[in-house]
A and B are shown apart, each in its own frame.
Chain A
Amino acid sequence: MMNGMPILTLLTVLPIVGAGIALVSGRHARLVAMLTTLAGLAISLVVWTHLPADGSMGFVERAAWAPSLGIEYHLGADGLSAIMLVLSSIVALMSIDASHRVHRQPNLYFALVLLLEAGLFGSFTAQNFFHWFLFWELSLIPAFFLIKLWGGAKRGPAATQFFVYTMAGSVSLLIAFLGVFLATGSMDFEHLTLLASTGELAQMVTAHLGNVMPWLALGVLAGFAVKTPLMPFHTWLPAAYSEAPSPVTMLLTGAMSKMGVYGLLRIAVPLFGHEYSVMRTPLLVLAVITVVMGAWAAAAQKDLKRVFAYSSVNHLGYCLLAIFALAVPATSTAMQNSQAAALNGVILQMFNHGVTAAALFWFIALIQERSGGIRGIDDFGGLRKPAPVFAGLMGIALFSSLGLPGLNGFPGEFLIFRGVFPLAWVAATVSVLGLLITAAVILTVIQKVFAGPVPERWSGENSSGFADLHTGERLALAPVIGLMLLIGILPQLIVDGVNPTVMNLLAHWRF
């Protein structure tokens, strides 16, 4: 703990200031963004390493803001927040690294990236709804413009769809949360979680507003379901992910989609755990559909970006599956252990998916640089011959995504299934289908892109061929691949930090 220093405020303000500097620094904006994000990563790591051992909130900052509205300046970070901060910093760094091809208005581009980063930092550290919502929405604006101004051919509709869907979700969330505020007079997550854990929240809401708890629960869920996404609220995602420039897609899938899951864990489940346990079956059905259909849809895609977009739906579907599965009153220690395993798995999966998905989209960016924008799954073949290092590194990332043991994708999914099987075995069993399809999809990609004959396009006399990674790119990618291996081998690096928080969270959740 570092007392006295408003380190979380500092962390949030840093990218905003950086954005301002980037805006006026012209060509050097990328450097500014890089340095700012590195500093952010450093601070995030400090936070991650200095958390309270009991899993409670550290680095707490409180100040009066607008008391009559229940608005307080309240920041804090526990293991969940801190790992998300670290993830955001890493993904942002990767994205900035991958953005070296942005030549049009680079100052604006990097300023927006930094603003998006501020949104992430802010929402992952907020402990008051107002503050959280501020940054939740703030992140949306830069994301919109990053898609809109630097995206692909159909960027306009994609950006709008993304924006309107997410905003509609936000309004639903806002109105539902207003109900909570109306009944309790508080917007403080900590306070509300305590109220919910004793059942008082439900009583107060019922007393003030009548029998609306399920509606509030659904309203809040809708906001997160769009963001994560949960089928059928996902339709904005493929367009947005594929039309956005790849570095931006990295941010969207690597970090922003985590805001949804984070929100579920920080707001929705603590407040409405009981309601979700009541409607657990339909929710599980949706989660399973997300898992399976996400994978299936990925199998049907011809565009690499869309393949990975749907595969992201599938991967985050596991998180949703686990969260809904653990929403059940624990009647035994075994069940508690399963819940803990599932929740640990969720957090681990968030981190891992963030890193892996970001890496995969980075590789797509590299492919597009070489292919002149072509990224159809059938346009390539036999790339391992001309570009063995590329194929090798991307292969690692792909296998991580597939969930190969020894790579970072595995421990998260393992823990999730370890937890979900005892809690909801039917759902878990059906979801395994998703695992299988994903494996098939990834293997197909590997086969079509890396194996087989090299098409005319890349081997013909007039083509420059498919260049392998050059040194700079190798150096940039190496730490990421290293991280995948590291987490794959030593998942406890994260689990040990997260577990106390998981226990602490579960202790306050009432189903």
Chain B
Amino acid sequence: MLAWTIYLSFAGALLEALLPQRGPGSKPALARWVALLVALAGFALAIAGYAAGMGQGRMVITDAAWVPAMGIHYLLAADGISRVLVLLTGLAAVAGVLFSWNVGHRTNEFFAFFLALIGGVYGVFLSFDFFLLFVFYEIAIVPKYFLIAIWGSTRREYAAMKLALYSFAGSAMVLVVLLAAYAAAGSHTTSLIGLSHAGLPVHLQMWAFPLTFLGFGILAGLWPLHTWAPTGHVAAPTAASMLLAGVVMKLGAYGCLRVAMTLFPHGMDPWGFSFLGIGSWRSVFAVLAVIGILYGALVALVQTDFKFVIGYSSVSHMGFVLLGLMTLNQIGLDGAVLQMFSHGVLAGLLFAIVGRMVYDRTHTRQLAELEQMQLSKRLPFAAWAFVIAGIASMGLPGFSGFVAELQVLIGSWTANPWWTATAGVGIVVGIAYTWRALQKAFFSDAPPAPHLHEHGHELAAITWPEATGFALLGLASLIVGLYPRILLDSIEPAVKALLAGGMR
């Protein structure tokens, strides 16, 4: 059932591409509705698959020999972690379409790339064959480039190229590891399970782990390789930045977990010596994650562009995911996966507000200019939507972010209390930057700009797709925040199985 999320998305992309492009035959409305239907169908399948998978372990969905001579299988499967992320993808896809309702330029191409990206993302989350996973991972890169380069804003071509090259550099690292692991395991399987049971030599794991983690980590915004993220997010059109922060960054984190950590668990073993208190790759990446948390938050604090604030906040929040992964304990990993979901929803929401609700109406994202616009009065819906998204994002209890970050902090404490303490400082700074942006953008007391009340400066009202999208994402975060078991019941057994089987 879940496999159809992939096929449906690609079929939708193809259909969009074949719709009449321009001239009298082109119908942007049709393109929108097709995209919405495809996204909704994917979401429905994801929910159904999630419900059906409750209480079950890893389920194989499809297993067909793909390249028999090389032992490569078209192996789709899902465990609790995959199902949660597939659910997130479905949600983000629907919300992304809703917040792209006003895309009027090359509408069907936009949705074609959009759905192709979604299809690739579904594919990554469902692949249990390293090769297949890599294929889907790369499929997701190209649409991203075009979405940003064609429909983006500030320095879009630069940002898109940077994003594509960073991603591709990361995937080159992963490709090398894939080849090496395949060769080392005797060149007869690329299945993740097969490779993890192949007893890869420790010295290989010792270099393959950091390389893979780095390769995937680039996409997850691992400091100091995060620099594509803010520029990419800022340049991207709303839906693309929603997807970029919402699900694409999760691809990286998911790869770190699913590939780097399960295939090369010994790569996280201590080196036998320590330098500045760092004695293993695990602590290296944990420290990088913590730096990312703090650095992202501090940089977000001084941004003048509203979207950059959110862009850097993503770096900070993804730091929690990576930190959670490096705790290597049940609760920390639970938290990391939950944070993937939570950040996916919340970053999507924040970008939707900044990009769609505000920027598309005001045509500026400079906080200094927004300050003079009295948006809390002129766009109260956007203002209060941002309040809700902001408090959820800064980790207030009752929303998903809190439960997730809580678990990561607990998990990291057992690993190293200093990580927790520093991450805690990051949270405080996170509160500060969110609040600063909130005040400057919406609730500023600065005198209104003189031209504000002239004719022609009215802001369009919030449309139904925006309100629906907001409700969808906000509710998702609230439900998970108030009743985290809805996801944790699925995540916990999966993480437990991972920890029990091989990964320390």
Q: Do chains A and B touch in the complex (CB under 8 A)?
A: yes
Residues of chain A lying within 8 A (CB to CB) of residue B163: none
Task: Evaluate contact between B410 and A182: CB separation under 8 angstroms.
Answer: yes
Residues of chain B lying within 8 A (CB to CB) of residue A31: none
B178 to chain A, nearest CB (A): 34
Task: Evaluate contact between A134 and B492: CB separation under 8 angstroms.
Answer: no
With A134-B397, A149-B443, A164-B431 as contacts: A68 and B414 at CB distance below 8 Å: no
Task: Evaluate contact between B421 and A141: CB separation under 8 angstroms.
Answer: no
Residues of chain A lying within 8 A (CB to CB) of residue B413: 178-179, 182, 209
Task: Evaluate contact between B488 and A68: CB separation under 8 angstroms.
Answer: yes
Q: Does B304 contact A (CB under 8 A)?
A: no
With A160-B439, A164-B431 as contacts: A209 and B403 at CB distance below 8 Å: no
Query: Which residue of B376, B387, B406 has the most chain A CB atoms within 10 A of its CB atom?
Result: B406
Q: Which of A167-175, A257-265, A472-480 is found at the contact surface with chain B?
A: A167-175
**Using a CB-CB cutoff of 8 Å, which residues 172-186 of chain A contact chain B?**
172, 174-175, 178-179, 181-182
Q: Does B207 contact A (CB under 8 A)?
A: no
CA distance in complex: A163, B428 (Å) = 11
Residues of chain A lying within 8 A (CB to CB) of residue B334: 68
Contact of A175 among B376, B394, B421 (CB under 8 A): B421
With A69-B406, A148-B443 as contacts: A209 and B428 at CB distance below 8 Å: no
CA distance in complex: A172, B425 (Å) = 9
Residues of chain B lying within 8 A (CB to CB) of residue A71: 484
- Produce 1/0 per residue, B481-496, CB < 8 A to A: 0011100100010000
Q: Does A66 contact B (CB under 8 A)?
A: yes
Q: Does B498 contact A (CB under 8 A)?
A: no
With A160-B439, A163-B435 as contacts: A175 and B409 at CB distance below 8 Å: yes
Task: Evaluate contact between A65 and B397: CB separation under 8 angstroms.
Answer: no
CA distance in complex: A208, B492 (Å) = 22
Q: Does A133 contact B (CB under 8 A)?
A: yes
With A65-B485, A171-B424 as contacts: A178 and B406 at CB distance below 8 Å: yes
Q: Does A414 contact B (CB under 8 A)?
A: no
With A171-B427, A182-B413 as contacts: A148 and B488 at CB distance below 8 Å: no
Residues of chain A lying within 8 A (CB to CB) of residue B484: 66, 69, 71
**Using a CB-CB cutoff of 8 Å, which residues 58-89 of chain A contact chain B?**
65-66, 68-69, 71
Q: Does B407 contact A (CB under 8 A)?
A: yes
**Using a CB-CB cutoff of 8 Å, which residues 139-154 of chain A contact chain B?**
141, 145, 148-149
Residues of chain A lying within 8 A (CB to CB) of residue B407: 69
Q: Does A130 contact B (CB under 8 A)?
A: yes
**Using a CB-CB cutoff of 8 Å, which residues 119-133 of chain A contact chain B?**
130, 133
Q: Does B445 contact A (CB under 8 A)?
A: yes
Residues of chain B lying within 8 A (CB to CB) of residue A168: 428, 431
Residues of chain A lying within 8 A (CB to CB) of residue B387: 141, 145
Residue of A nearest to B413 (CB): A182
Residue of B nearest to A163 (CB): B435
Contact of A178 among B403, B420, B439 (CB under 8 A): B420
Task: Evaluate contact between B428 and A167: CB separation under 8 angstroms.
Answer: yes
Residue of A nearest to B425 (CB): A171
Q: Does A137 contact B (CB under 8 A)?
A: yes
Residues of chain A lying within 8 A (CB to CB) of residue B331: 68-69
**Using a CB-CB cutoff of 8 Å, which residues 429-457 of chain B contact chain A?**
431-432, 435-436, 439, 443-445
Number of A-B contacts (CB under 8 A): 82
Q: Does A424 contact B (CB under 8 A)?
A: no
Q: Does B194 contact A (CB under 8 A)?
A: no
Contact of A181 among B410, B432, B443, B483 (CB under 8 A): B410
Task: Evaluate contact between B396 and A137: CB separation under 8 angstroms.
Answer: yes
With A69-B403, A181-B410 as contacts: A164 and B435 at CB distance below 8 Å: yes
Residues of chain A lying within 8 A (CB to CB) of residue B376: 149
With A66-B485, A156-B439, A160-B439 as contacts: A209 and B417 at CB distance below 8 Å: yes
Task: Evaluate contact between A160 and B485: CB separation under 8 angstroms.
Answer: no
CA distance in complex: A171, B331 (Å) = 19
With A69-B407, A148-B439, A209-B417 as contacts: A155 and B445 at CB distance below 8 Å: yes
Q: Is the interface on chain A under 10, 10 to 19, 20 to 34, or 35 or more residues?
A: 20 to 34
Q: Does B150 contact A (CB under 8 A)?
A: no
CA distance in complex: A145, B413 (Å) = 34
Residues of chain B lying within 8 A (CB to CB) of residue A209: 413, 417
Task: Evaluate contact between B414 and A182: CB separation under 8 angstroms.
Answer: yes
Residues of chain B lying within 8 A (CB to CB) of residue A137: 396-398
Residues of chain B lying within 8 A (CB to CB) of residue A443: none
Residues of chain A lying within 8 A (CB to CB) of residue B427: 171
Task: Evaluate contact between B403 and A66: CB separation under 8 angstroms.
Answer: yes
Task: Evaluate contact between B431 and A175: CB separation under 8 angstroms.
Answer: no
Task: Evaluate contact between A141 and B410: CB separation under 8 angstroms.
Answer: no
Residues of chain B lying within 8 A (CB to CB) of residue A178: 406, 409-410, 413, 420
Residues of chain A lying within 8 A (CB to CB) of residue B485: 65-66
Residues of chain B lying within 8 A (CB to CB) of residue A167: 394, 428, 431
Contact of B397 among A133, A160, A163 (CB under 8 A): A133
With A68-B334, A69-B407 as contacts: A141 and B428 at CB distance below 8 Å: no
A136 to chain B, nearest CB (A): 8
Q: Does B40 contact A (CB under 8 A)?
A: no
A294 to chain B, nearest CB (A): 26
Residues of chain A lying within 8 A (CB to CB) of residue B444: 156
Q: Does B185 contact A (CB under 8 A)?
A: no
**Using a CB-CB cutoff of 8 Å, which residues 111-150 of chain B contact chain A?**
none
Q: Does A46 contact B (CB under 8 A)?
A: no
Task: Evaluate contact between B435 and A138: CB separation under 8 angstroms.
Answer: no
CA distance in complex: A465, B431 (Å) = 47
CA distance in complex: A175, B428 (Å) = 11
CA distance in complex: A167, B396 (Å) = 10
CA distance in complex: A48, B416 (Å) = 45
Query: Which residue of B387, B407, B414, B424 has the most chain A CB atoms within 10 A of its CB atom?
Result: B424
Residues of chain B lying within 8 A (CB to CB) of residue A148: 439, 443
Task: Evaluate contact between A130 and B409: CB separation under 8 angstroms.
Answer: no
Contact of B488 among A66, A141, A171, A175 (CB under 8 A): A66
CA distance in complex: A375, B461 (Å) = 41
Residues of chain B lying within 8 A (CB to CB) of residue A175: 409, 420-421, 424
Contact of B435 among A133, A160, A181 (CB under 8 A): A160
Task: Evaluate contact between B424 and A65: CB separation under 8 angstroms.
Answer: no
CA distance in complex: A172, B483 (Å) = 24
CA distance in complex: A178, B334 (Å) = 16
- Produce 1/0 per residue, B450-472, CB < 8 A to A: 00000000000000000000000
Residues of chain A lying within 8 A (CB to CB) of residue B200: none
CA distance in complex: A65, B439 (Å) = 35
Residue of A nearest to B436 (CB): A160
CA distance in complex: A209, B416 (Å) = 10
Q: Does B391 contact A (CB under 8 A)?
A: yes
With A156-B445, A175-B409, A175-B424 as contacts: A65 and B488 at CB distance below 8 Å: no
B475 to chain A, nearest CB (A): 15
CA distance in complex: A171, B426 (Å) = 10
A95 to chain B, nearest CB (A): 22
Residues of chain B lying within 8 A (CB to CB) of residue A156: 439, 443-445
B256 to chain A, nearest CB (A): 23
Residues of chain B lying within 8 A (CB to CB) of residue A163: 431, 435
A123 to chain B, nearest CB (A): 11
With A155-B445, A175-B420 as contacts: A130 and B397 at CB distance below 8 Å: yes
A164 to chain B, nearest CB (A): 6
Residues of chain A lying within 8 A (CB to CB) of residue B406: 69, 174, 178
**Using a CB-CB cutoff of 8 Å, which residues 187-224 of chain A contact chain B?**
208-209, 212
17 examples of A-B residue contacts, CB within 8 angstroms: A66-B485, A68-B331, A68-B334, A69-B403, A71-B484, A133-B397, A137-B398, A141-B391, A145-B387, A149-B376, A168-B428, A171-B428, A172-B424, A174-B406, A174-B409, A174-B424, A209-B417
Q: Which 5 A-B pairs have the closest CB atoms?
A: A134-B397, A175-B424, A167-B431, A137-B396, A66-B484
Give 9 A-B pairs besides A164-B428, A182-B413 with Cβ atoms closer than 8 angstroms.
A66-B483, A69-B406, A69-B488, A148-B443, A155-B445, A156-B443, A164-B435, A181-B410, A209-B417
